[in-house]
Structure 1
């Protein structure tokens, strides 16, 4: 087969490498073209060198190009994959830092909550630029595969306003299923069958079967509480399981910031999180992890390049959806996964305009969603709270309406549990001013926001959060990896 895949934000080096090797595990795809594009020429050249090394080591006819000219990369592409983080770590740091001044402690801040909403405001105008280019220069009816967060907002904007055939992809469902299989004593995750449905990062395992046997709430709770690691790392997630009756796909830290109950008081935060890894609830944990990963990659790049000169092993193909979707569409080998699409009857008790994450099957005819799923009422109620925030956030990003943006933040579950309306109004002004370089749709509102900030009497505090850790140096990371290797 011969077709073109464009990857936008290809400078996300580790993830791009994973997608590339996954796709080349499909025998029919050896002769396709990958067009890489990113705003960073430096990152582009690093990832191109790695992918070229993979192609050379495996003696493949695969073509790899790299350019900062996005439109050129998209010319004639049949598939477009987005992995972008608009504003990079600089803007992301403000997504975490500024809300902390108003008492809002986030672990990740990339989906909803104050950080996720502002992240969406930065991403959506760029997503619409991608869609315009796809419509104009990509292959007719090209498919847009969005991996970038905030998943629901980006996918919503691409479908409703970008008018491009779009699917949002995430790996939370797969990771949750692996956990469940492990606590139930399965020899392989393949022994577990499940139906998982909801919205991205708030998806719920509403039906579970292990080797055909139905698994109920009590058995699952007991299995998690007996596990020597997850009983400590997933305390909040287990508590939600007990109360809702179903397990959430999302990690302890992620789930904690989508709900109004667990992170609203500093002393409560430390009760529910675990500090053994950032993903279990650490304040600004993903920002620290991302910063360390970037620094590590820059320093250890020669080792990454050397490691690329190995044969591709199809048995190590990851469970990321992209390669499996492309394989199904191109070869008609059917694939079942969980995809982010516009609701339109997929989930009966969620708004029909929302972006939902639910089971579907892929073949040559496209992505075919299983329709008519009904969520447990508590799950639906939690999802609807986030959907209302997402809808307002998307419309604010499109219109540049700062008052609507403030209302979206005000209605966020965790923000509403922590902050007063006056604090929210000032916080949004401060975030829009700090991130103005990536928010062109709010340029008209920045002068007035600055003026309001100059005379505001809302008190703030310099607070690192309830459970903040410092970014580790390269030397510290090396020592830790050496200790783990020796212990293992």
Structure 2
């Protein structure tokens, strides 16, 4: 088969490499063309060098091109994959720093909460530009696969306003299933069957079967509490399981910032998080991790390039959805996964316009969602709170209405648990002014926001958060990796 796949934000080097090698593990796909595009020429040069080395080492006919001209990359593309981070780590740092001044302590801040909402404001205008290019220059009926966060907001905007067939993809479900299989003592993941449904990063394992036997709440709680590692790393997640009756797909740190109960007081945060790794609740943990990863890659690039000479091994194909979806669409080999699409009745007790994440099957006819799923009431209530924030956030991003943006942030569960309305109004003004270069839709609102900030009486503080760690140096990272290697 010969067709074109465009990857926008291909400068996300590690993830682009994973997508690339996964797709090439499908035998029929070795003659495809990959068109890489990014705003960073430097990152494009690095990723192209790595992918070229993979192609050469495996003697494949695959073609790889790279350009900063997005429309050129999208010309004739049958599939377009997005993994962009608009504003990069510079804007992301402000998503974490400014809310901390108002007492909002986020672990990740890329889905909802103050950081995720502003992230969506930066991304959505760009997503609509992508959709415009897809409609104008990509192949007829091209499909847009969105990996970028905030997943629900980006996918909502692309479907509702971009008018492009869009599928949102994440790996939270797969990771949650791997944990459950481990605590239940499964010999392999194939022994576990599950139905997982909800919204991105708030998806719930509503039915679990181990070798055909239904697993209930009490057995699952006992299994997690007996696990020597997860019992410490997933304390909040286990608490939610006890109270809701179902396990959440999302990590301890991620889940903590979507709820109003666990991060609202600094003295409470330490009870529920674990500092063994960023993903378990560390303040600004993903920002630190992303910064260290970028610095490590820049320093160790020759090592990454050398590792690209290894032969492709289909047995090491990852569980990221993209390659499996493309394989099903092109070959007809059926794939079951969990996809982010417009609800339209798939989940009976969530709004029809919401972007939900739920099971579906893919074949030559497209993505066929399993309809008629009803969430437990507590899970649905939590999802609906986030959906209301997402809807207002999308509408604010489209209209450039700063008052609607403030209302979206005000209704965020964690922000609402921490901040007064006056604090929310000032926080949003400060974030919009600071990030103005990435927020063209708010250009007319920025002067008035600056004036309000100049005469504001709302007090803030210089706070690093309840559980912050400093970015480690390359030498520190190297020493840690060496220690881990010796331990193994």
Residue 4 of structure 1 corresponds to which residue in structure 2?
4
1:309 paired with 2:309, answer: yes
Residue 189 of structure 1 corresponds to which residue in structure 2?
189
For 1:287-298, list aligned pairs within 5 A: 287-298=287-298
Please state how far the C-alpha of 1:487 moved relative to its aligned partner: 1.1
Residue 332 of structure 1 corresponds to which residue in structure 2?
332
For 1:102-181, list aligned pairs within 5 A: 102-181=102-181
For 1:300-449, list aligned pairs within 5 A: 300-449=300-449
- How many angstroms apart in 1 are the aligned matches of 2:360 and 2:340? 10
Residue 471 of structure 1 corresponds to which residue in structure 2?
471
Partner SS, residue 300 of structure 2: helix
- How many angstroms apart in 1 are the aligned matches of 2:93 and 2:109? 10
Unaligned residue ranges in structure 2 (runs of 5+): none
Residue 212 of structure 1 corresponds to which residue in structure 2?
212
- How many angstroms apart in 2 are the aligned matches of 1:278 and 1:87? 22
The alignment's TM-score, normalised by the length of structure 1, stands at 1.00
Residue 46 of structure 2 corresponds to which residue in structure 1?
46
- How many angstroms apart in 2 are the aligned matches of 1:216 and 1:189? 18
Please state how far the C-alpha of 1:216 moved relative to its aligned partner: 0.2
- How many angstroms apart in 2 are the aligned matches of 1:66 and 1:313? 25
Question: RMSD of the TM alignment (CA)?
Answer: 0.2
- How many angstroms apart in 2 are the aligned matches of 1:442 and 1:42? 30
- How many angstroms apart in 2 are the aligned matches of 1:90 and 1:386? 26
May I ask how many residue pairs the two structures share in their alignment?
Answer: 488
1:379-417 deviation per Cα after TM superposition (whole angstroms, max 9, x unaligned):
000000000000000000000000000000000000000
1:12-35 deviation per Cα after TM superposition (whole angstroms, max 9, x unaligned):
000000000000000000100000
Residue 274 of structure 1 corresponds to which residue in structure 2?
274
Partner SS, residue 475 of structure 2: helix
Partner SS, residue 258 of structure 1: coil
- How many angstroms apart in 1 are the aligned matches of 2:86 and 2:264? 28
Partner SS, residue 66 of structure 1: strand
Partner SS, residue 409 of structure 1: helix
After TM superposition, the runs of 4+ consecutive aligned structure 1 residues lying more than 4 A away are none
- How many angstroms apart in 1 are the aligned matches of 2:170 and 2:484? 29
For 1:68-107, list aligned pairs within 5 A: 68-107=68-107
Residue 19 of structure 2 corresponds to which residue in structure 1?
19
- How many angstroms apart in 2 are the aligned matches of 1:298 and 1:344? 44
Please state how far the C-alpha of 1:190 moved relative to its aligned partner: 1.0
- How many angstroms apart in 2 are the aligned matches of 1:311 and 1:69? 31
Unaligned residue ranges in structure 1 (runs of 5+): none
Please state how far the C-alpha of 1:327 moved relative to its aligned partner: 0.0
- How many angstroms apart in 1 are the aligned matches of 2:480 and 2:177? 29
Partner SS, residue 257 of structure 2: helix
Partner SS, residue 387 of structure 1: helix
Please state how far the C-alpha of 1:40 moved relative to its aligned partner: 0.1
Residue 36 of structure 1 corresponds to which residue in structure 2?
36
- How many angstroms apart in 1 are the aligned matches of 2:208 and 2:484? 35
- How many angstroms apart in 2 are the aligned matches of 1:32 and 1:291? 33
- How many angstroms apart in 1 are the aligned matches of 2:188 and 2:105? 37
Residue 238 of structure 2 corresponds to which residue in structure 1?
238
Partner SS, residue 373 of structure 2: coil
